[in-house]
Amino acid sequence: MAKKRFGDRKEGRRLRSIDPMMAVAPYIMKTRSGSSNMISDSIDIENLEKYIHKKRQEGLKGFGILDVIIAAYVRTVAQRPGVNRFVSGQRIYARNEISVAFVIKKELRLDSPETVIKVFFQPDDTVEGIYLKTKQAVEENRGEGDNSAFDSAARFFRFIPGLLLKFVMFILNLMDYFDLLPKSLIKLSPFHCSLFLTSMGSLGIPPIFHHLYEFGNVPMFCSYGAKRSAVVLNKDGSVEERKFIDYTVNTDDRICDGHYYASVMKMIKDYLKNPEKLDVIPDLKEDVK
């Protein structure tokens, strides 16, 4: 990590050598919702399901698609770090860490409360390491009561009267703009992370196009849906039924160009098609581009 310089933020390093068009973009496209690019795609999960089954046989209880998606994203960031940038205060920064946030239900009931988990990863994490970190975070936050600092903070804000809460949020947004939020608050905030991930699969519905939050600086939101079957035509002319998962990605257009994003999407999809690559510790000196 580079030494912090004047103009850097607590969670990121200011990019000072980007091209003029990119530097001006946050002043033209002032909000994340107004800077959103959305894409939808699907993936054949035949190989992925075999990989998940193998990992469970090896003792990784509860290992699933979520773990592979996170691992694919983390490995891609290690090779394409530009996708881990963010915009705050109309300036572009490179994030200091890789962090992924996602929502879990404390229990599988309709009336069960939800909580948000934020997990930190290293660029050289393998899929097993990511599984263990995610599993630990989920177990720590399941159960009744406020099991995380985020739960406690959300409960505190809940008891503030509406008009006063509106003013409090204005002040927090202003503090965030000028990088005045406490580091402890940024660390627990799911609105300050690399990727926000949500699963519609457990609900049995297709993925939604989720908005990017205006508070914080999350530059990418990914949603994936339930498994579905489809009849496909093979190259040899034969027809067969295969399983697919649909997913959507909402990105902040200001952090990198379309060519870079295309490279990122192709890389993530390749890892999902060939998840065994995620078992190998990457050579970051060779991979980072």
- The pLDDT, as a whole number, for residue 127 is 97
- The pLDDT, as a whole number, for residue 289 is 44
pLDDT tens digits, one per residue of 73-85: 999 999 999 999 9
- The mean pLDDT of 227-255, rounded to a whole number, is 94
Domains of the chain, CATH where assigned:
12-276 (3.30.559.10)
- The pLDDT, as a whole number, for residue 156 is 82
Residue from 174, 156, 176 nearest 165 by CA: 156
- The pLDDT, as a whole number, for residue 211 is 95
Look at 1 and 282; give whichever has higher pLDDT.
282
pLDDT tens digits, one per residue of 91-144: 999 999 999 999 887 666 666 677 889 999 999 999 999 999 999 999 888 765
Q: pTM of the predicted model, to two decimals? A: 0.92
pLDDT tens digits, one per residue of 139-180: 888 765 555 667 777 778 888 898 999 999 999 999 999 999
Q: What is the DSSP letter of 34?
A: G
Look at 3 and 84; give whichever has higher pLDDT.
84
Other beta carbons within 10 Å of 69: 25
DSSP state letters, 232-284: EE-TTS-EEEEEEEEEEEEEETTSS-HHHHHHHHHHHHHHHHSGGGGGSPP-H
- The pLDDT, as a whole number, for residue 120 is 98
Quickly state the pLDDT bin for 288 (edges 50, 70, 90): very low
> Residue 35 in 3-state DSSP?
helix
Q: How many helices (H) and strands (E) in the chain?
A: 9, 9
Residue pointed to by tokens 């406020």:
146
Quickly state the pLDDT bin for 282 (edges 50, 70, 90): confident
pLDDT tens digits, one per residue of 15-70: 999 999 999 999 999 999 999 999 999 999 999 999 999 999 999 999 999 999 99
- The pLDDT, as a whole number, for residue 145 is 56
- The pLDDT, as a whole number, for residue 142 is 76
Quickly state the pLDDT bin for 4 (edges 50, 70, 90): confident
**pLDDT for residue 223 is more than 50:** yes
**pLDDT for residue 216 is more than 60:** yes
Tell me what the pLDDT averaged over the chain comes to. 91
